[in-house]
Amino acid sequence: MSTLDSTAPRRRGAIALLGAQWGKYGLQVGGIVILARLIDPGDFGLVALGLALSGFAAVLGDFGLSLAALRAPTLSVDQRDMLFWINTLIGAVASLLVVAAAVPVSAAFGDERLAPVMALLAPAFALRSASVQYRVELNRAGRLSALALVEVVGDAIGLVTAAVLALCGYGVLGLTLQGGVAAAITLIAAVTASPWCPRRPRRDVPLRSLLAFGGNTFAVHLVNYASSNIGTMAVGAASGSTVLGLFSRANQLVNLPLEQVASPLTRIVIPTLVDAGGPAEIQRRLSRFQIVLCYPVLAYLSLLAAAAAPAIHVVLGSDWTPAADDVTILAVGAVFQTLGYVAYWAFLATGRPGLLLGSEGVGRSLMIALSIVCATRGPMWVASAIAVGHLAVWLSATLVFLPRAGVSGWALARAAGPALLVFGLSFAAARGLDSWLLTSWEAFPRLMAITGSWGLVVVIACALFAKSDIALIRGFIRSR
């Protein structure tokens, strides 16, 4: 039997996994900077549209089984083997669906370039699905350092591939192949790092509970995929690839920290919550994780929103400066998404994926409807629709669905209060100084002045309002 190990090796590896995830974040930021200088917004928009249209394959390829396997107290050898083959088969089917849809979708959007882009994106989904169970095995065995290395090396080689092709004048090809190369390297590294080797599938393996949990989680991820990408599709259809390139880059900049912090934390949080002794302990641990999640993510969002225009001008170049118009609105939505992420952990850890689906479905349906309606008005309206949807998701979880899972949503909101206060004040001070004094300055000194004023307010506000939170975060890091 493969069992969850909550002992010292897993705790020691957690900091390595978090550090590696921030290494991936650094790689992605570096990739954004490098590729933005080599590839124009229109080409970025074309590949972003292809990713949005084919992204359902990534959701289908996992089918929620990775989380089902991660939270299961035990997995038999036969179950592990079957999960590998199911994931691999679903990933292969998903990739074939993307290839089959490439030509009709490109015709529907009136851009024949979409067909080869989607066809080249397709293999990545099968490759990532094949690596899922290997990565779960490393996670369950507490080998988080090895898991961290597996995931970083793939992303790094994928970025190098994209940059080299862009330097050679093949920017669209580089962007399109980046994910596939990363997925192939990740699979090879995961197979090499894991001592586990799947056997041939067998009949009559008990999988009903895993498939039921995975199916509900898949439905949630499918709704999330639709709501997250419908804005991209709508902007692309209404405004063209150049405007879409700017919008998708703004969306990527806003969402990077949540993706890079929440993903590794999920692998730490779910086993930790499953090990909790009862509802009171689950509530306490969730509140602590809320604090650990909020500080790095809200810090980034606060500074990015305050300094968006000069930061984008300095880092990405003047061609990308219009993307700053969408950043502040998207950042507001990302704040509510961050606050609500703990609810996602709570529903998964307590085995309540149905409540998770209900919680997400309310706000995500609103997000989809508003994005479609607002698309013709421009990307800022779509950004507003996304923000309203994230607010609705957080409110529905806090007021309705978390109490049904035995968790106080308001207690989680109170845990995030000091972080909201610290970074709300720092944003207001930096943005106020910029509007009053700095708008006529050159981009680089303007960026430095905004960053300096923001940092000063953060230090003062943390000393006044967040001493206990800072101590908790230090203790969390040391205990890992």
DSSP letters for 458-479: HHHHHHHH-HHHHHHHHHHHHH
Q: Is residue 12 part of a domain?
A: yes
Q: What's the average model confidence in pLDDT over 275-279?
A: 77
SS3 3: strand
SS3 60: helix
Residue 20, pLDDT score: 61
Residue 145, pLDDT score: 73
Q: Which two tokens stand for residue 258?
A: 């949540």
Decide which of 206, 236, 271 is a domain's last residue. 206
- Cα dihedral 425, 429, 431, 435 sign: positive
pLDDT digits (tens, 9 = 90+) for 139-166: 777 777 777 778 788 888 988 898 899 8
182 with 323, same domain: the answer is no
Distance CA 245, CA 267 (A): 32
Residue 52, pLDDT score: 78
274 with 196, same domain: the answer is no
Distance CA 227, CA 222 (A): 9
Residue 17, pLDDT score: 58
Number of domains in the chain: 2
Task: Report the phi/psi class of residue 200: left, alpha or beta, with left for phi > 0 and alpha for psi in -120 to 50.
Answer: beta
Q: Which domain holds residue 448?
A: 216-480
194 with 246, same domain: the answer is no
Decide which of 206, 224, 257 is a domain's last residue. 206
- Where is mean pLDDT largest: 2-6, 138-142, 256-260, 316-320? 316-320
108 with 164, same domain: the answer is yes
More confident residue, 89 or 8: 89
418 with 275, same domain: the answer is yes
Q: Is residue 476 part of a domain?
A: yes
Cα angle 103-105-106, degrees, rounded to a multiple of 5: 65
| Ranges 22-36, 312-326, 448-462: which has the least confidence | 22-36
Q: Is the pLDDT of residue 53 over 70?
A: yes
Q: What's the average model confidence in pLDDT over 228-242?
A: 76
188 with 280, same domain: the answer is no
Q: What's the average model confidence in pLDDT over 91-110?
A: 88
Distance CA 182, CA 184 (A): 6
pLDDT digits (tens, 9 = 90+) for 178-211: 889 988 998 999 888 888 888 888 877 887 777 7
More confident residue, 267 or 430: 430
Provide the whole-model pTM. 0.75
More confident residue, 246 or 119: 119
318 with 455, same domain: the answer is yes
Decide which of 148, 177, 206 is a domain's last residue. 206
72 with 165, same domain: the answer is yes
Q: Is the pLDDT of residue 425 over 80?
A: yes
Is the separation of the CB atoms in 84 and 253 below 8 Å? no
Distance CA 101, CA 109 (A): 12
Q: What's the average model confidence in pLDDT over 379-399?
A: 92
Task: Identify the CA nearest to 173 among candidates 104, 89, 111, 113.
Answer: 113
Beta strands in 16-155 (DSSP E): 74-75
192 with 237, same domain: the answer is no
Q: Is residue 211 part of a domain?
A: no
168 with 306, same domain: the answer is no
Is the separation of the CB atoms in 226 and 364 below 8 Å? yes
Q: Is the pLDDT of residue 7 over 50?
A: no
Q: Is residue 81 part of a domain?
A: yes
Cα angle 449-245-161, degrees, rounded to a multiple of 5: 95
